[in-house]
Structure 1
Amino acid sequence: MSSEPTDPRIIVALDFPDSAAAQALLERLDPARCRVKIGKELFTRGGPALVTRAVDAGFAVFLDLKFHDIPNTVAGACAAAADLGVWMVNVHAQGGSAMLSAARECLARRRERPLLVAVTVLTSLGAEDLAAIGCPGTPGERVLDLAGLAQAAGLDGVVCSPQEAAALRTRFGAGFRLVTPGVRPARAAAEDQKRIMTPADAVAAGADYLVVGRPITAAPEPAAALAAIAAEVGG
């Protein structure tokens, strides 16, 4: 494996039901070539110890727990995530301005802090899903509103569908980080995602980081699948 220092765009989603499977994949990947995401199922199974092992192995970890609670609780959760040495943590923008600001202020007091991004609209949701929960308008309109709330609170960026990346980049500029799940190579199945885009198109639209799961994790040769996607997006 190469140990050349890089700033990889690809975040491999470790969406496994147990720690052993996640650890086995980590051993097949190069931390100089990708970052990794640990979400709710895996964190609930493996706990902080799994996060620590990934960090100790050299991986930049995106802790994807989507904190959404009262401001003090979310601030404390973000502090706990930072203590684990993660590279990025997220909260739900729908928690409101006070919650977002509390999370940002808590992390800002640290000498070294993780990036803080807000989830806007889940990529599994379409307009009909939003209507069913009382949110009128299109997903794109809702994303722009919530991203504006996050930027005003001082967050580093948002998690969004790649389909909204171009509009967000235009409105919020180059310094606002865009993390995009819903990325699928051209021949891959959409599965449970509705608002998807190919890796190259997502980067062209303005995405900074691409979250990719099963096209890499379910591939016979995960490192080769990662390399192919990285070559497509130039890193």
Structure 2
Amino acid sequence: MSKLDKIIVALDQMSLDEIDQFLRQKENDLPFVKIGLELFVKYGPDLVHKISLEYKKKIFLDLKLHDIPVTVAKAISSLKNLPIDFLTVHLSGGEAMLKAAMAEARMSIPQCKVLGVSFLTSLEAKDLNDLFGITNTEEAFLRLFKTASDSGIDGIVSSPHEVGLLKKHYPHLLSVTPGIRFRDEIEGAQVQDQKRVMDPKEAFNAGSDYLVMGRSLTKTQNLSERLRLLKE
């Protein structure tokens, strides 16, 4: 399997024309894309079907569902037969919510893996302390990872900095990591709103199974060169 098969391109903050132009580039052989909340709210299931059928892409639907168990289950039921491979829910919704999500997903979208979002990559240690009173971040992540494992979900979405911790304690959980930037972007402080970032090579070495990359690929002036770096 090529490294490119493990790269998920986030189509966030793109218009339909921009998405079409990006996916039609002849050098673009990336097989996996992410549709976030903004795009799904705007264009709905039609966009998922279009990208799956017209461009033959695998779909990561990143909705980060977080509500009482019955509401999350009904939301997932509404996705029935949608061609999606990954779907996100918030781990902080608790074990009952996660189990309800898994039960419904197995019936309505059985091909889809359910991933639990830990803490957003836009949050850093100070934010976690201010918001949740967290002073020991490792302990906080471990609690979330245990909840994920106990609930039976398929994997975790977290920054690459937590992947080693996840794989050490729960190696059976899939690791999907946003917050990925090329080394030149990190050194040039071109990381936008993400705080806990890492470059692709470091993230794979840390144990990430899939990397989520957005503007680093969708806004680059030289996609061929960026893909060459990823293949290496």
TM-score by length of 2: 0.90
Match of 2:48 in 1: 51
Letter in 2 for 1:165: V
How many residue pairs get aligned? The number is 227
Q: Percent identity?
A: 37
Alignment equivalent of 1:62, drawn from 60, 63, 70: 60
Q: Distance in 2 between matches of 1:78 and 1:220?
A: 37
List alignment gaps of at least 5 residues for structure 2: none
| Secondary structure at 2:99 match in 1 | helix
Letter in 2 for 1:228: R
Match of 1:179 in 2: 176
Shift, 1:45, TM fit? 1.9
Change (3 A) 1:153 1:7: farther
Report if the CA contact (8 A) 1:6-1:33 is conserved.
no
Report if the CA contact (8 A) 1:178-1:207 is conserved.
yes
Q: Does 1:162 align with 2:160?
A: yes
Alignment equivalent of 2:70, drawn from 72, 75, 93: 72
List alignment gaps of at least 5 residues for structure 1: none
Q: Distance in 1 between matches of 2:27 and 2:49?
A: 17
For the aligned residues, what is the CA RMSD?
2.2
Q: Which moved more, 1:133-142 or 1:39-48?
A: 133-142
| Secondary structure at 1:192 match in 2 | coil
**Deviating 4+ runs (over 4 angstroms):** 4-7, 29-32
Letter in 2 for 1:80: S
Report if the CA contact (8 A) 1:121-1:142 is conserved.
no
Match of 1:38 in 2: 35
Q: Distance in 1 between matches of 2:229 and 2:164?
A: 20
Change (3 A) 1:130 1:34: same
Tell me the alpha carbon deviations over residues 150-196 of structure 1, each in whole angstroms, 9 at most, x when there is no partner: 111000010011001011111101x3100000011100122211111
Matches within 5 A, 1:196-207: 196-207=197-208
| Secondary structure at 1:187 match in 2 | helix
Q: Which moved more, 1:107-116 or 1:150-159?
A: 107-116
Matches within 5 A, 1:67-106: 67-106=65-104
Shift, 1:102, TM fit? 0.2
Match of 2:151 in 1: 153
Shift, 1:110, TM fit? 5.0
Q: Which moved more, 1:126-135 or 1:179-188?
A: 126-135
Shift, 1:5, TM fit? 9.2
Shift, 1:207, TM fit? 0.3
Tell me the alpha carbon deviations over residues 40-81 of structure 1, each in whole angstroms, 9 at most, x when there is no partner: 112122221111111112111100010001111111222333
Match of 1:143 in 2: 141
Q: Distance in 2 between matches of 1:228 and 1:5?
A: 12
Tell me the alpha carbon deviations over residues 102-133 of structure 1, each in whole angstroms, 9 at most, x when there is no partner: 00011223583201000001011011111222
Q: Distance in 2 between matches of 1:7 and 1:187?
A: 19
Match of 1:109 in 2: 107
Q: Distance in 2 between matches of 1:201 and 1:172?
A: 20
